[in-house]
C-alpha cells in the first residue's frame, strides 16, 4: 500500500457494527449487511489505521423532524411487524409496505444510518475533519412524510441542513443510478443548496429528474439533472461529470459538498443498467476531492452484494490518498468475492445507448442553466489536489431567503449541537461481536477539543 499527498487530509469514518444485523426481509434487494462487509474489507486492507473511526451516537426523533413530519417519524418509532395490522391506514399514507417494509428494529436502523451523516456534518462544521465517510447513509429517496425506494429517513437532507448552519451554500452530488428525488424535492425552492444528479431516466424508478427540472422560485437553476440511458460507461461518464461539476464549482462556490456514491451505477448491479467500473465510479470521487472543499461522502444504492463492498472500500482508499492491492486480503466474507478474489472487476460488453451527440446536447443545455446561477462575489474555487481549502465558504455570500422552516433555522455560524443532534445473501446477520478495535472510538460532542494533529 503506497500513500500519496492526499493522506494529509483529515478523514473521519462512521460505522456501527449493528447496521449489519438489520434485515429488510427474505428476497429484498436492499441488504444493510453490505455495510458490514465493506467495513470488514476496509479493516483487512488496513485503511482504518489512516483515519479516525467513530461509532455514531444515535440521533433522537426530534432531530429527524428538522425535515420529516412529526406524524411520520412517530409512526416509524412505533410500527413493528407485530402491530402493523393496527396501522393499515398509516402504512398506506406513509408508503410503508412492499418496497419499504416494516422489519424488526426499523427505527433503530434509521437512527444508525442517519446518525453518521449528521455526526459527519458536525465534524465538518467544527473543522475537525476535511472528509467524513458514512457508507451506511445516502438514502436519498425518502420524502418529508413518505418512505420511498427502500429509504425511510433522508439522512442526506438532514446532513445538508446541519452543514447549512456553518456554510452559506452546500452542493449535493448524486451518482446513484436512480434520481436523487428526495433531496432535490427538499431544496427545490432555495438557492442555498444546489442538487446535481446523474441518473438513468425514462421508465425507471423514480421517474423524475428531467433536464428541464431546474428548481423553482428562489431555487430556479439550482437543481441540475443529467438524464442518462442504459450502458453508461467510464469514458462517457467522465466526459459529462467533470465539465458539469467543474462549472458548478466555479459559479456556485459551495462551502461544503455532500457526495452520494450509490453503487448501483456499477456494471453488473442487480437493479442497475449502467456499465461503470470501480475506477470509473471512484474517478468521480477523486475529481470532487481536487477542489479541496469539505466533503461528506455517503453510500446509497447498490444491490449486487459482492460489488458494493469493493467499490466503497476502493473509494475509501481514494479519499485517503492511498493505493491498495488488487488482490483482496483474506476477510470474513472472502467466499463472496470468488472466483477471482480481486478488487477490480471487468465490465460487461453491453451497448452504450448514450451517444456523444446526446450527451453534448444535454451538457450544453445544462451549461445554459448554470449561466443564470448567481455567482458569489469574491469567491473562486480552483481544482488543487495538493492545496486544500477547508476554511469554509471562502467569502461572504448574500443571504438567501430559505422557504422551509428548517432552512430558516440553519443559518451560518449557528454551531450545531450533537444532542440535537454467511453464504446466503438473504440471511439475517446474527453476530453482535465488536471484532475490530477500530469500532471503539467514541463520537465527540460539539464542545470536545479537536483531535491531535
For 26-33, what is the mean pLDDT?
97
Q: How many CA atoms lie within 13 A of 318 on its CB side?
A: 21
Please give the average per-residue pLDDT across 167-187, as a whole number: 99
Output the known binding site for substrate: 99, 149, 303
Cα of first residue to Cα of last residue in the chain, in angstroms, is 22
Q: What are phi and psi of 8, to 5 degrees?
A: -70, -15
Q: Which residues are annotated as a binding site for a divalent metal cation?
A: 176, 178, 264
* Residue written as grid cell 443571504: 399
Percentage, residues of the chain above pLDDT 70:
81
Residue 377, pLDDT > 80, answer no
323 confidence band (pLDDT: 50, 70, 90): very high
The pLDDT of residue 407 is 64
* Average pLDDT of span 238-266: 99
Mean pLDDT of 60-64: 97
User: Residue 124: pLDDT above 80?
Assistant: yes
Q: Is the pLDDT of residue 424 over 80?
A: no
Residue 399 has pLDDT above 80, yes or no: no
Quote the pLDDT of residue 8: 78
Closest Cα partner for 430 from 11, 16, 21? 21
Among 94-98, 372-376, 423-427, the range scoring the smallest mean pLDDT is 423-427
More confident residue, 395 or 276: 276
Query: Is residue 33 annotated as a catalytic residue, yes or no?
Result: no
Radius of gyration of the chain (CA): 20
The pLDDT of residue 409 is: 59
Q: What is the pLDDT of residue 414?
A: 37
Position 374 scores a pLDDT of 79
Q: Which of 141, 179, 229, 281 is catalytic?
A: 141
Tell me, what's the pLDDT at 304? 98
| pLDDT tens readout for residues 64-118 | 999 999 999 999 999 999 999 999 999 999 999 999 999 999 999 999 999 999 9
Instruction: Kindly state the percentage of the chain with pLDDT values over 90.
Output: 80
pLDDT of 394 > 80? The answer is no
HEC string for 100-154: CCCCCCHHHHHHHHHHHHHHHHHHHHCCCCCEEEECCCCCCCCECCECECCECCC
Answer whether residue 411 shows pLDDT above 60: no
Residue pLDDT, tens place only, 285-322: 999 999 999 999 999 999 999 999 999 999 999 999 99
What span, in angstroms and rounded, lies between the C-alpha atoms of 259 and 265?
14
For the ranges 142-151, 207-216, 430-439, which has the lowest average pLDDT? 430-439
pLDDT at 379 over 50: no
> Which residues are CB-neighbours of 29 under 8 A, at least 6 positions away?
150, 270, 271, 303
Cell of 257: 459538498
CA 392 to chain centroid, in Å, comes to 20
For domain 11-372, give the fold.
Answer: 3.40.800
- Identify the pLDDT of residue 405: 58
Quick check: 415 pLDDT over 50?
Answer: no
Q: Peptide bond preceding 206: is omega within 30 degrees of 0, i.e. cis? A: yes
> Does residue 403 surpass a pLDDT of 50?
no
Residue 296: in which H helix or E strand, if any? Answer: strand 295-298
Q: Please, is 5 exposed, middle or buried when counting C-beta atoms within 10 Å of its C-beta (0-12, 13-18, 19+)?
A: exposed
CA atoms within 13 A on the CB side of 208: 17
Average pLDDT over residues 386-412: 41
Q: For residue 340, is pLDDT > 70?
A: yes
SS3 315: helix
pLDDT at 156 over 60: yes
Q: What is the mean pLDDT of the chain?
A: 87
Please determine, for residue 452, whether its predicted confidence score (pLDDT) is greater than 90: no
Mean per-residue pLDDT, 25-45: 98
Amino acid at each position: 500500500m503506497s500513500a500519496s499527498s492526499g493522506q494529509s487530509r483529515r478523514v473521519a469514518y462512521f460505522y456501527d457494527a449493528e447496521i449489519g444485523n438489520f434485515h429488510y426481509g427474505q428476497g429484498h434487494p436492499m441488504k444493510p449487511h453490505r455495510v458490514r462487509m465493506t467495513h470488514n474489507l476496509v479493516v483487512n486492507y488496513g485503511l482504518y489505521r489512516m483515519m479516525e473511526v467513530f461509532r455514531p451516537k444515535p440521533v433522537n426523533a426530534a432531530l429527524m423532524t428538522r425535515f420529516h413530519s412529526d406524524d411520520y417519524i412517530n409512526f416509524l418509532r412505533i410500527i413493528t411487524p407485530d402491530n402493523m395490522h393496527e396501522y393499515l391506514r398509516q402504512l398506506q399514507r406513509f408508503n410503508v409496505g412492499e418496497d419499504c417494509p416494516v422489519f424488526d428494529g426499523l427505527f433503530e436502523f434509521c437512527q444508525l444510518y442517519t446518525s453518521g451523516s449528521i455526526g459527519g456534518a458536525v465534524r465538518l462544521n467544527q473543522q475537525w475533519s476535511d472528509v467524513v465517510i458514512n457508507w451506511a447513509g445516502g438514502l436519498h429517496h425518502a420524502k418529508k412524510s413518505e418512505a420511498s425506494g427502500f429509504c425511510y429517513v433522508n439522512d442526506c437532507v438532514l446532513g445538508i441542513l446541519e452543514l447549512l448552519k456553518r456554510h452559506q451554500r452546500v452542493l449535493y452530488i448524486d451518482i446513484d443510478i436512480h434520481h436523487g428525488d428526495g433531496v432535490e424535492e427538499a431544496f427545490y425552492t432555495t438557492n442555498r443548496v444546489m442538487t446535481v444528479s446523474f441518473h438513468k431516466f425514462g421508465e425507471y424508478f423514480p421517474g423524475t429528474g428531467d433536464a428541464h427540472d431546474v428548481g423553482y422560485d428562489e431555487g430556479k437553476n439550482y437543481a441540475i439533472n443529467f438524464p442518462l440511458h442504459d450502458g453508461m460507461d467510464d469514458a462517457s461518464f467522465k466526459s459529462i461529470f467533470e465539465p458539469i461539476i467543474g462549472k458548478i464549482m466555479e459559479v456556485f462556490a459551495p462551502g461544503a459538498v455532500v457526495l452520494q456514491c450509490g453503487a448501483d451505477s456499477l456494471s453488473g448491479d442487480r437493479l442497475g443498467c449502467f456499465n461503470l467500473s470501480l475506477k470509473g465510479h471512484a474517478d468521480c470521487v477523486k475529481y470532487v476531492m481536487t477542489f479541496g472543499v469539505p466533503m461528506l461522502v455517503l453510500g446509497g444504492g447498490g444491490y449486487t452484494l459482492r460489488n458494493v463492498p469493493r467499490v466503497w472500500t476502493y473509494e475509501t482508499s481514494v479519499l485517503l490518498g492511498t493505493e491498495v492491492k488488487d488482490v483482496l486480503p483474506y476477510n470474513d466474507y472472502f467466499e463472496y468475492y470468488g472466483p477471482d478474489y480481486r478488487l477490480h472487476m471487468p465490465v460487461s460488453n453491453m451497448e452504450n445507448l448514450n451517444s456523444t451527440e446526446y450527451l453534448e446536447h444535454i451538457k450544453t443545455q445544462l451549461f445554459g442553466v448554470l449561466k443564470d446561477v448567481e455567482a458569489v462575489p469574491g469567491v473562486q474555487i480552483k481544482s488543487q489536489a495538493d492545496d486544500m481549502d477547508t476554511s469554509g465558504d471562502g467569502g461572504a455570500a448574500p443571504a438567501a431567503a430559505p422557504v422551509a422552516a428548517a432552512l430558516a433555522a440553519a443559518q451560518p455560524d449557528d454551531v450545531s449541537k450533537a444532542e440535537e443532534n454467511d453464504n446466503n445473501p438473504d440471511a439475517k446477520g446474527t453476530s453482535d461481536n465488536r471484532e475490530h478495535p477500530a469500532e471503539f472510538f467514541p463520537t465527540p460532542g460539539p464542545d470536545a477539543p479537536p483531535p491531535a494533529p
